[in-house]
Amino acid sequence: MFVIAKSVDFAFAKEGRLRVGEKDLGRSFDRDAPQRVRSARAAALLGGRNPAARILPRCVFDAMEVGFTMRGVGWDFGKYTPIPQVTRPSERQAFIRATVKNIIRNQLLIDLIDTVTKCIPGVTATGGSIFLQDLPPLERYFLSTAIHIGHGVLIFAGVALTYDIGSLIGIFLFNQSPAAWPPIHGGLFAARSVHDFWARSWHQLFRYTFLTLGGFFGNWLCGGLGMVLGCFLASGLFHEFGLVVAGKELDPSVLAFFLLQAVGILCEKAFRRLTGKKVGGPFGFVWTAVFVVGFGQICTDSWYARGIGGAISIPPSLSVIRLALLPSIRVVVRYVYSLLS
């Protein structure tokens, strides 16, 4: 669906896609320029130390970048994409060290959440539920909330891990600047409105994809109302597409969750129009939690029922938590138990 969205976008971009600051596409390949000049232009794009930049023409690098970029950083279609505040150093070596630390931290976090998830009764690769009916209501919903938050943190860390690995590839292989890899997420628990959560706290990798597949068409039909609903409908279909391709049935409850997020944002817009104030503060935090954590359990339970909870995130043979931490905890527990008995 990402490729489809890219194709649609390129088809309707009359002037093509331009870098920020460019006024037109210009000539992709200047045959009148000497070979050494063409090589210098290509090398300047990604850095003189990159051997690939001396071999391939600039048009190839431009095509690769505009084709693979998701948020559109540095391109005209990404100029309105919110970029989180930079938290890593801009100096190359310091950036690499900070990124490696993030990769290790997120890997361990994913490992821990995946290990705990596999301990939930009834959660397998063929199905399961975050709502354990054998538990009293209070404990049942406390556990389901914890599972849902854990699942969200796992996705959050997984996206960050993949992005950080990509940034190291870009820096080492293509000699890119750390500035080309701004943070992928904002603060997960910093949002004080549903809009802030989806526009700033959560990643924006598919923002333009959802605009292309639903938002722009919705805007054409119903203005701002249609744009918001169209984006979240496209998001719901996008998230269900992978499961449908895997042979699972489409679940309307997932689409309902994403459309509820649109309803929340539209309510926030109405509140601002009526009061002149934005949703925020403690009330905004609770409001956001209701939509993301409360209604979000509908979505997570649907995914668990279709085997997502039992899917392997970290192979047991590579799991530090399973191979080292859990055995150590067992030894300590047995030792303490022997002392008390």
Give residue limits of the domains in the chain. 17-68, 92-305
Q: What is the pLDDT of residues 161-172, one digit of tens each?
A: 999 999 999 888
- The residue-averaged pLDDT of 282-294 equals 95
Q: 201: which 2 tokens?
A: 């706290």
Q: 282: which 2 tokens?
A: 């403690």
The mean-pLDDT minimum among 47-56, 73-82, 307-316 falls in 47-56
| Residues paired with residue 124 on neighbouring β-strands, in sequence order | 127
For residue 312, pLDDT over 50 is answered with yes
Identify the top-confidence range among 53-57, 61-65, 88-92, 196-200. Answer: 196-200
pTM for the full predicted model: 0.84
Residues in the chain: 341
- The residue-averaged pLDDT of 104-113 equals 94
For residue 75, pLDDT over 90 is answered with no
Contact, 76 vs 17, CB < 8 A? yes
- The residue-averaged pLDDT of 96-121 equals 91
What is the C-alpha to C-alpha distance for residues 162 and 176, in angstroms, rounded to an integer?
A: 17
Average confidence score pLDDT of the chain: 85
